[in-house]
A and B are shown apart, each in its own frame.
Chain A
Amino acid sequence: MLTITNLHASAGSKEILKGISLTVKAGEVHAIMGPNGSGKSTLAQVIAGHPGYDVTSGSIEYEGQDLLELDAEERAQQGVFLAFQYPVEIPGVTNAYFLRAAYNEIRKAHGEEEADPIEFLDIMEEKLKLVEMDASMMQRSVNAGFSGGEKKRNEILQMAVLAPKLAVLDETDSGLDIDALRIVAEGVNKLKRPTNATIVVTHYQRLLNYIIPDHVHVLAGGKIVKSGGKELAHELEAKGYDWLLEPAGV
């Protein structure tokens, strides 16, 4: 589904990703772990098409297409989704309007008919249950005044509605209490299909107790310094990151 080859990316004159290669197949869950400043969030944002980063070399192939050729909205329409570490507040635009606009843009891109507000309410009802959100949240402005947990649940709600093929969760566990963490993780697990894939970007192993990864990669200094199975996450939890950094020369 996704093949990243020797990816280099910079923000301004600063190179952040220094040659990342990663292959993700349908049905897989990959965890990307690493210390702060290792480039984890940058990788997530480059996949989603953040305009603040320049890809200086390397490639990303997604479903047989050159992903880097597509604008952020085209990537979303093709099934790429990023759950933001810091979801943006949009006062004055209701969650209901925002979600329906996004849902319909994606349907339009696939040549399908748009859902009217009534049909959309039906779709929402089921999705709200998935993240244990009250319907009244739909009438509130997007993320405005939401608690940290509500914002993250709202991200997973969007993921549920937009049904992406490739979901990238950027530090979705940060700032969550244990209940919110469980709800978010269960939401992600229920959305798992053999035809879609998930990349979980996280600093801590905690979330991986709930979302079990097939592969774990450690990112440090803009490179993947170690890859392994789910047991690697436990090892990191026990030993921290330092033992990996020195041999990697970062």
Chain B
Amino acid sequence: MTTPYTEQFEAFSANGGGEGPSWLPALRKKAFERFHALGFPTTRDEDWHFTSVTPIAEKTFKSLKPAATTLTLSDLEPHLVDAEWNRLVFVNGRLEPALSQYGSLPADVQLAPLSELLREEPAWVETHLGSLAGFDKAAFTAMNTAFMQDGVVLRVPTGEVVDVPIHILHVTDEKAQGGAIHPRLLIVAEALAQVMLVESFVGLDSASYLVNAVAEVVVGNGARVDHYKVQRESRDAYHVGTTQVVQGRDSIYHSFSYAAGGSLSRTNVYTKLAGTGGEARLNGLYVLDGAQHADHQTFVEHIAESCASRELYCGVLDGQSHGVFNGKVFVDPQAQKTDGKQTNKALLLSPQARVDTKPQLEIFADDVKCTHGATVGRIDEMALFYLKSRGIGAESARALLTYAFAAEALETIEIDALRLDLERQVFERFTHSQLV
């Protein structure tokens, strides 16, 4: 299954992939060898028990040829969330400077293509790149590390507070057909720094392609990173994304994953609470219909004491769709006074829709508070009757209650513009009318 990629990797190494500081081609080579040895995961693999990646494994996705895009800002307008934000726009995996804007950041904040930083500060990049996202057991991360091209580096220096969100928008169009894109993101928020980042993945046309993204996030002591991900890939696309975070003392990492696109998607959010008093909040909403499959896996490693983790994942499933939530919490013997809470809720709109939930708690400290709860339900009959008793027809009432279910997860989004944008999208998806 990975064999067809050997040729691609050799071609890539000879043309572009060999560039950069000398450690980089070595890292790629090691990653590719690991990818080749591991192969794509199967459902015999515990981490992939409910998600078969056979549709990805049996295809061979090509490297996309660099091609100038004909897309204009007006094509992207519905996906910008807020046109004022600093943003980097990638089309079919390639950075489009003409569609990007990032001039208004504080001077000491670095937001730059990975290629640029590799030229200017190779030693700094070497310290971080690949330091969190290990690929020893992760085939997709290995594949990304071998093939990553244009990536993004965001470095917020000590004490700097960036108060306007930064948007990284990955767009695909019909030219992505049959291709693989391996976006890479590195965020380093140094001590007491604060930054909000939105990553969007949007498929404009009905192309079939693979996006295999990896993000590494370092949240320094007393720093805060709000990291939002919006996955609206084409309905024929495959999306695998892994975010690997390490948090320092008294740091805050908030993540939100919205997954509504793709035929098959897998989102991993892994954080390590490595310093005392850290807080991780991992939330998400997936909205599926037809034959869509979306899998979320979270892993919170409580290494240090007095850290808190909160997780709320909600799913709305229609048609024959399949949702998976696997939330792992590990509490190290050192991590006394851990406070962990995990909640997973799914709303099934059709008898064929299915959800698999697997909370996993591994607790090795004795003075901890860890809870998890999962509910799977259908529309509440009493609420339905309430709306109908006000003259609202059964179909509209169901749509409104479905929206209300999803809105609970969206309410946790602290960036107003993003929350309103997603509320509007979800509302329109369920009610086919406008939210005013």
- B: contact size bracket: 20 to 34
Residues from 12 to 66 in A contacting B, C-beta threshold 8 Å: 48-52
A105 close to chain B: CB less than 8 A: yes
Chain B nearest CB from A91 CB (Å) reads 5
Most buried by A among B393, B400, B423: B393
Bound-state CA distance A50–B384 (Å) is 10
A51 near B381 with CB under 8 A, answer: yes
Q: Are B389 and A49 in contact (CB under 8 A)?
A: yes
Task: Report the bound CA distance from A84 to B388 in whole Å.
Answer: 13
Q: How far is the CA of A81 from the CA of B386 in the complex (A)?
A: 11
Mark contacts of B220-232 with chain A using CB atoms, 8 A cut-off: 1 yes-contact digit, 0 otherwise: 0000000000000
Could you say which of A84, A87, A106, A117 contacts B391, with CB atoms under 8 Å apart? A106
Contact with B along A99-110 (1 / 0, CB 8 A): 001100110010
Within 138-190 of A, Cβ neighbours of B (below 8 Å) are at: 141, 158, 162
Min CB distance B151 to A, Å, is 36
Determine whether B19 belongs to the interface, using a CB cutoff of 8 Å to chain A: no
Q: Is the beta-carbon distance between A101 and B404 smaller than 8 angstroms?
A: no
Q: Which of B181-189, B295-303, B406-414 contacts A (4 or more CB under 8 A)?
A: B406-414
A102 CA to B389 CA, complexed, in Å: 9
Q: Report whether B391 and A97 are in contact in the complex, using a CB–CB cutoff of 8 Å.
A: no
| Interchain CB contact under 8 A, B407 and A50 | no
Q: A73-B391, A93-B403 are in contact. Are A52 and B411 (CB under 8 A)?
A: no
Given B387, B396, B411, which contacts A91 in the complex, CB threshold below 8 Å? B411
Residues in A whose Cβ lies below 8 Å from that of B405: 92
Residues A71 and B388 in contact, CB atoms below 8 Å apart: yes
Give per-residue flags for B367-392: 1 if the beta carbon is below 8 A from chain A beta carbons, else 0.
Answer: 00000000000001111011111111
Of A52, A71, A102, the residue contacting B390 (CB under 8 A) is A102
Q: Is the CB of B404 within 8 A of A73?
A: no
Task: Specify which chain A residues have a CB less than 8 angstroms from the CB of B408 in the assembled complex.
Answer: 91-92
**Would A97 and B389 count as touching, CB distance under 8 A?**
no
- Return the chain B residue nearest A109 by Cβ: B391
Bound state CA distance, A50 and B408, in angstroms? Answer: 26
CA distance A68 to B188 in the complex (A): 65
Known: A71-B394, A92-B408. A82 touches B381 (CB 8 A): no
Given B389, B401, B436, which contacts A76 in the complex, CB threshold below 8 Å?
B389
**A157 to B401, alpha carbons, bound, how many Å?**
21
Q: Is B164 part of the binding interface, using a Cβ–Cβ cutoff of 8 Å?
A: no
**Residue from A82, A93, A101 in contact with B389 in the complex, judged by beta carbons closer than 8 Å:** A82
| B73 within 8 Å of A (CB atoms) | no
Interface: B112 (CB within 8 A)? no
User: Inside 8 A of A88's CB, which chain B residues have their CB?
Assistant: 380, 382-383, 386
Given the contacts A51-B381, A90-B400, A90-B404, A158 and B386 also touching, CB distance less than 8 Å: no
**Closest partner residue, chain A, to B431 (CB atom):** A101
The answer to the question of B435 belonging to the interface, with a C-beta cut-off of 8 Å to chain A, is yes
Q: A49 contacts which chain B residues (CB < 8 A)? A: 385, 388-389
Q: From the candidates A73, A92, A98, name the one contacting B410 in the complex (CB within 8 A).
A: A92
Q: Smallest distance from the beta carbon of B258 to chain A beta carbons, Å?
A: 15
CB distance from B289 to the nearest CB of A (A): 19
B404: which of A77, A92, A105 is its contact (CB, 8 Å)?
A: A92
Residues of B within 8 A of A102 (CB): 387, 390-392
Residues from chain A with Cβ under 8 Å of B389 in the complex: 48-49, 72-73, 75-76, 81-82, 84
State whether A162 and B391 are in contact (beta carbons under 8 Å apart), knowing that A90-B401, A92-B410, A97-B436 are contacts in the complex: yes
Min C-beta distance of A122 to chain B, whole Å: 15
Contacts of A72 in B (CB 8 A): 385, 388-389
B: residues with CB less than 8 A from A are: 380-383, 385-394, 396-397, 400-401, 403-408, 410-411, 423, 435-436
Binding site for B on A (CB under 8 A): 48-52, 71-73, 75-77, 81-82, 84, 87-88, 90-93, 97-98, 101-102, 105-106, 109, 117, 141, 158, 162
Instruction: Provide a sorted-by-A list of 27 A–B residue pairs whose CB atoms are within 8 angstroms.
Output: A48-B385, A51-B381, A52-B385, A72-B385, A73-B392, A75-B389, A76-B390, A77-B391, A82-B389, A87-B386, A88-B383, A90-B386, A91-B404, A91-B407, A92-B405, A92-B407, A93-B404, A97-B435, A98-B387, A101-B396, A101-B400, A102-B392, A105-B391, A106-B391, A117-B436, A141-B404, A162-B390
Query: Lowest 10 A-B CB distances belong to which pairs?
Result: A92-B407, A76-B391, A102-B390, A72-B388, A88-B386, A92-B404, A105-B391, A73-B388, A106-B391, A88-B383
